[in-house]
Amino acid sequence: MKRVVVTGMGAITPLGNSVNELWENILAGKSAAGPITKFDASKFKTRFACEVKDFNIEEYIDKKETKKYDLFTQYAIAAADQAIKDSGLDFEQMDEVGRYDVGVIWASGNGGISTFEQQLKEYNGGDGTPRFSPFFIPKLIVDIAAGAISIKHQLHGPNYCTVSACASSNTAIISAFDTIRLGKAKVMIAGGSEAAVTEGSVGGFSSAQALSKNNENAEQASRPFDVARDGFVMGEGAGALVLEDLEYALERGATIYAELVGTGMAADAYHLTGTHPEGLGAVLGMKRALEEAGIEAKDIEYINAHATSTGIGDISELKAIKKVFGDLPVAISGTKSMTGHLLGAAGAIESIISVLSVKNDVIPGTINTTELDSAIPEGLNIILGKPVCQTVNYCLNNTFGFGGHTATSLFKKYSA
């Protein structure tokens, strides 16, 4: 099997519109939560979110092109452009045959939901005459971001989307990893994007009792593992990683951030929206990632937990970690305390954070958590507050999604 390395990254997030800004604000322990500005949320039970700020798509595509793309695709194009530039790949200097070996797997949980809501509002508010935009369907469908990235850069390798709710972009990264390992591509651009701070999405998640309603204390509302947590905080944005066949990366002199060495996917097979109370799918996913990497639980120094700040979800994940790692001192933190929950893009953003943790030997802290829930298993090393500097040779990144989907990726410090 081929070895797979990370050579480029890009990010559009509530904590900044670049990987450097994201990382600096993660280490600074900054919360991105604030009042919703994308629509009038005054009558909603939840009136805050982690929104992307100061985003300008015209830095990446021509103004005339923007009307073709929903915001989730615009975020995808921008993050992918950043990752490609960061990787040093120059597709303009690569002939068409070379671009046959470069593919895109992109994820989203909700796709063009804002386009869907806007078009139906216009239809329902009219006289019943169907005056839909010719771009309605292309802007709406979830796979269009992968297509848009490949069209922009003329990439002819494997191209599709993955949808597994909040595990979607981690699933995309895993799929890209498998594609390269099997020799079906030399380079894959993988990640996910989400633009779901909309009336329907916020209203729907709120009705499902999934969102925090801590409107008076929004910046501290995302508090993984805390006894007072009351739901997740909606986020938006995109994360992109360039994954390469190691031999190809070395041949072209690429900078290597980390190596992706193991992955695991499983299903809770338990409930439409709730996680298995004992974390069955999470246990299987983590064990499979360790097995694929050929390492043991004791080798892991850091777990970037899914940790959404939901009551059942946080506890079931920690129970799963306890079952896999026992009393080992592996560090655990929840960076959604700062970014909010980017839904289908969460796995990609947290993979970037995991890669930087491995590269820089820094473990981000969990902010806002002041009193751990008594239901948390004893003996776990949960990092609260400030980041911790320590060697990180291996890092696990967990993601889970409605429907019982679980996906775990395992990053290693690169060595020849």
- Can you tell me the distance from the alpha carbon of 250 to that of 252, in angstroms, rounded to the nearest whole number? 5
- Can you tell me the distance from the alpha carbon of 261 to that of 245, in angstroms, rounded to the nearest whole number? 12
Positions marked catalytic: 166
DSSP 3-state assignment of 355? helix
For helices 113-124 and 199-207, the axis angle rounded to 10 degrees is 100
> What's the first-to-final CA gap in the chain, in angstroms?
16
Question: What are the distances in angstroms from CA 318 to CA 268, 330, 339, 379?
Answer: 15, 12, 20, 11
* 8 Å CB contact between 244 and 4: yes
CB contact set of 297 (below 8 Å; sequence gap of 6+): 290, 324, 325, 326, 328, 330
Is the backbone of residue 279 left (phi > 0), alpha (psi -120 to 50) or beta? Answer: left
The enclosing H or E element of 242 equals strand 237-245
How much is the CA Rg of the chain, to the nearest whole Å? 20
Interstrand relation of 331-333 and 302-304 (parallel, antiparallel or unpaired): parallel
What is the dihedral sign for C-alpha 349, 355, 359, 363?
positive
Is the backbone of residue 29 left (phi > 0), alpha (psi -120 to 50) or beta? Answer: left
Query: Residue 56: exposed, middle, or buried by beta-carbon count in 10 A (0-12, 13-18, 19+)?
Result: exposed
The enclosing H or E element of 176 equals helix 168-181
- Can you tell me the distance from the alpha carbon of 131 to that of 289, in angstroms, rounded to the nearest whole number? 49
Question: What are the distances in angstroms from CA 114 to CA 13, 203, 331, 390, 399?
Answer: 18, 13, 38, 42, 24
**Tokens 């041949």 sit at which residue?**
251
